[in-house]
Chains A and B, each alone.
Chain A
Amino acid sequence: MTMQQTDRDAALFQASRPMRILRRVAGGDGIISFAILIAILLSWQAAVSLLDVPAFILPAPTEVLAWLIRGFSAAPDDPVSFWPHLGVTLWEALVGFVAGVIVGVLLGFALAHWPRAERIFYPYIQAFNGLPKIAIAPLMVVWLGFGLEPKIWMAAILVFFPMMINAMAGYHSVDPDRIDLARACNATRTQIFFKIIVPSSLPFLFAGLHMASVLAILGAIVGEFVGATRGLGMLLLQYNNNMQMGGVFALLIVLGALGYGLNLLMQLAERKYCFWARRSKTFGH
């Protein structure tokens, strides 16, 4: 009876989780947020048409919407279509993200594990982290050309630092009692690493992943700004040079949605794999 009860509770808990997220986003204060958006759009539209603002300075929301619809409904081989560019930018960001996360986490754990290495390399890491990494983008083009590589490298470099620093912080934050618990069970070093240190570091790794998801897109876009033949960043720059502000705004919205979507993905992953860490915190942060 009690077992059945707990099973059913567990099932309810499982089923209600996505529903709760939806309700938090849409319900309650979400309505107010949505109302504010509508108000901004309306006053924007009114201001543009009443004050006769030229379209090359501020396009009307309806024009931006038209650009968006055209960009997404045109055939992929049509030059106004966003799709091929979206695909290129997403690919660059994704590959850079994965590479930066893997290298950053591995190196972060390694440095934290060998304090001597950390002492030797940390000044360099800090110095390089202090550098505005976007400034390397032109160099990347010189070294790697106009293809996808410099964009992937930019994304990877931007992603690398928060991941490495968070992996180090995560490693150092592990409660020594947890290590003692595993040691008392005769755990091997590998077991201590995978069964205690990695899961204990997850909250830190997810903090890094939230940052990294946005930085990956930033890296790809910056790489495209410097020199590219395809990609949303290249397209944005092109519209900007042509004074096609409707297109610029439409692409900004696409990029914003992309970043938001990736961040949401990270949040969902965190909820699934790290649900035990942020119990008391509210949705989002």
Chain B
Amino acid sequence: MNAVATPLYPEDRTSAPKTAAADPLITCRSLNKVYKTRSGDAVDALVDLNFDIAKGEFISVVGPSGCGKSTLLKIMAGLLDYTSGDIAISGKAVTGPSPQNGLVFQQPNLLPWKTIAENVYFPVEIQQGRRAVNMTLVRELMSMVGLKGFEGKYPHELSGGMQQRAAIVRALVQDPAVLLMDEPFGALDAMTRDMMNVELLKIWSKHRKTVIFITHSIPEAVFLSDRVIAMTPRPGEIAEIIPIDLPRPRPLDVVNTPEFGAYAKRLRRLLNANEDIAG
């Protein structure tokens, strides 16, 4: 687990004297995405993105709304085409959806007509049929996030936090290599959000998934990540990739340490500076 992505920016090299990843899990080279509007204008959504992500890394992508961070996630999930450049996961170019990715949405996005257990095994049902469902694994995953006994309940009977936990285990049910999360806790209240962050780190350290976590919350990004990709607003470019050298496991009080504050401050400055340029 000492493999870390190749630093692409000089700042990284000075601030993070880490060894380069010989074999990164995700590589992204000169990635561009141009949207065509209805009137025929071309709008740059993502411009020249370059980064490598090592296996097992926790990466957050922060940026103001409209910076294209969700677009980037959808491209990685194979749900959206990119205009030019290369993006590959496990050495294979992303050409479409793949079971090696687990996707978590902004909303829990559970199907209301299915029970929680049915929702959790929905990806297996779709890809391999209902017979392939391993109920023991489903129960195990559910009890891991404290949803034991809720297998037969329907989504509307659960709180928002519990629904999002079910959505996370749904993303894990096919044992994906990469967990792609699009502002998954944005709709939760602050207390629940803190709890979910701690829980997510627990799951991550246990399962050692590579996580790409989209957020607009700077403290959340610093708390969770090995590295934070900061993006500029419209068009979405990478402003800087900042490694977070805080010891793990991280308890919640890490947010009160001066190191944490320094990282948050640095990110905030970075994002504000770019906001000013854009505005």
Q: Is the pair A3, B149 in contact by a Cβ cutoff of 8 Å?
A: yes
In the complex, A78 has a CB within 8 A of chain B: no
Q: Is the pair B126, A195 in contact by a Cβ cutoff of 8 Å?
A: yes
Given contacts A3-B149, A177-B107, A276-B154, is CB(A185)–CB(B112) below 8 Å?
A: no
In the complex, B152 has a CB within 8 A of chain A: yes
Given contacts A185-B99, A186-B127, is CB(A178)–CB(B109) below 8 Å?
A: yes
Given contacts A180-B79, A180-B103, A183-B79, is CB(A175)–CB(B122) below 8 Å?
A: no
In the complex, B98 has a CB within 8 A of chain A: yes
Given contacts A186-B126, A279-B156, is CB(A178)–CB(B99) below 8 Å?
A: no
Minimal Cβ-Cβ distance residue in B for A199? B113
C-alpha spacing A199/B106, complex, angstroms: 21
Measured CB to CB, the closest approach of chain A to B105, in angstroms, equals 5
Q: Provide the residues of chain A in CB contact with B156, threshold 8 Å.
A: 276, 279
A180 touches which one: B105, B112, B148, B154 (CB < 8 A)? Answer: B105
C-alpha spacing A202/B111, complex, angstroms: 13
Given contacts A182-B126, A185-B126, A195-B126, is CB(A175)–CB(B79) below 8 Å?
A: no
Q: Provide the residues of chain A in CB contact with B78, threshold 8 Å.
A: 184
In the complex, B123 has a CB within 8 A of chain A: yes
Given contacts A177-B107, A183-B79, is CB(A276)–CB(B122) below 8 Å?
A: no
C-alpha spacing A196/B109, complex, angstroms: 12
Q: Provide the residues of chain B in CB contact with A184, threshold 8 Å.
A: 77-79, 97, 101, 103, 123
Tier of interface size on chain B:
20 to 34
Q: Is the pair B154, A191 in contact by a Cβ cutoff of 8 Å?
A: no
Minimal Cβ-Cβ distance residue in B for A277? B112
Q: Provide the residues of chain A in CB contact with B74, threshold 8 Å.
A: 180
Q: Is the pair A177, B105 in contact by a Cβ cutoff of 8 Å?
A: yes
Interface residues of B in 68-98 (CB under 8 A from A): 74, 77-79, 96-98
C-alpha spacing A54/B96, complex, angstroms: 79
B152 touches which one: A6, A187, A277 (CB < 8 A)? Answer: A6
Q: Provide the residues of chain B in CB contact with A178, threshold 8 Å.
A: 109, 111
Given contacts A186-B97, A199-B111, A279-B156, is CB(A181)–CB(B103) below 8 Å?
A: yes
Q: Is the pair A202, B105 in contact by a Cβ cutoff of 8 Å?
A: no
Binding site for B on A (CB under 8 A): 2-3, 6, 10, 175, 177-178, 180-187, 191, 195-196, 199, 202, 274, 276-277, 279
Binding site for A on B (CB under 8 A): 74, 77-79, 96-99, 101, 103, 105-107, 109, 111-113, 122-123, 126-127, 148-149, 152, 154-156
Not counting A177-B107, A180-B77, A185-B127, a sample of 8 additional A-B residue pairs whose C-beta atoms are within 8 angstroms of each other reads A2-B148, A178-B109, A181-B109, A184-B97, A184-B123, A185-B126, A186-B96, A276-B112
17 A–B pairs (Cβ distance < 8 Å), ordered by A: A6-B149, A6-B152, A175-B109, A178-B109, A180-B79, A180-B103, A181-B122, A184-B78, A184-B79, A184-B101, A184-B103, A184-B123, A186-B96, A186-B126, A187-B126, A199-B111, A274-B113
Sorted nearest first, the 7 A-B pairs with minimum C-beta distance are: A276-B112, A185-B126, A185-B123, A184-B103, A177-B109, A187-B126, A2-B149
